[in-house]
Amino acid sequence: MPEFRLDNIDNLIPNDVVLSIAEHEGSQSVRLVLTPDAETPDNPTFAMIEGVEFSNGTIEIEVAGRPLPDAPSQARGFIGIAFRIQPNLSKFECIYIRPTNGRAQEQIRRNRATQYFSYPDWKFDRMRQEVPGHYESYVDLITGEWTKLRMEIDGEKAVLYVHEPEQPTLIVNDMKHGADMHGAIGLYIDSGTEGFFRNLKVTAR
């Protein structure tokens, strides 16, 4: 049952992200920003945890995401976890949050505070067009503040808890790569994000 404080970058493998160690809100953490040529959205923009193979179980982590000062207007501080990442990065599942949406003044943005997507074929825009509202949900978020995420993965099902509530924030019953895929875990960010990560715990079953 690996636990990673994420106060160093020795066991992280970056893909289209720049890694560093930074203090955020009083804690040492891993800081990620995108490389200048990273393609977005919903692409393999993450730092993989070396030596961790995951299929089913629980992923717990604390994250803090915010748009960079020069971020594009559509930036939301996208930050989360990619999992079941294939060795050639051809496929993975991902759940992330949009911190600036949590207290937005437009209800439609609030309803999009969390997101599941499946790379490469089921990105957020396709899901939003074909099955609107099925793979995103509201949760109260404060931009840049530490936020506890817990993901419970079992076969085709993924359940996201935010802030340690009794009830889940997002339920996905039909992950697009099916029940049997396994692979790496990655610290994920997207367009215009400055992301911080600490206290990763992976419990396999």
Residues 64-123 have pLDDT tens digits of: 999 999 999 999 999 999 999 999 999 999 999 999 999 999 999 999 999 999 999 999
pTM of the model: 0.98
Q: Quote the CATH superfamily of domain 3-204.
A: Exo-inulinase; domain 1 (2.60.120.560)
Domain extents for the chain? 3-204
Residues 37-68 have pLDDT tens digits of: 999 999 999 999 999 999 999 999 999 999 99
Residue type, 94: C
Q: Cis omega (within 30 of 0) on the bond before 67?
A: no
Q: If pLDDT is split at 50, 70 and 90, which confidence band does 180 have?
A: very high
The confidence score (pLDDT) of residue 64 equals 98
DSSP 90-106: S-EEEEEE-GGGTT-SS
> Mean pLDDT over all residues of the chain?
97
The confidence score (pLDDT) of residue 1 equals 63
End-to-end CA distance of the chain: 10
The confidence score (pLDDT) of residue 96 equals 99
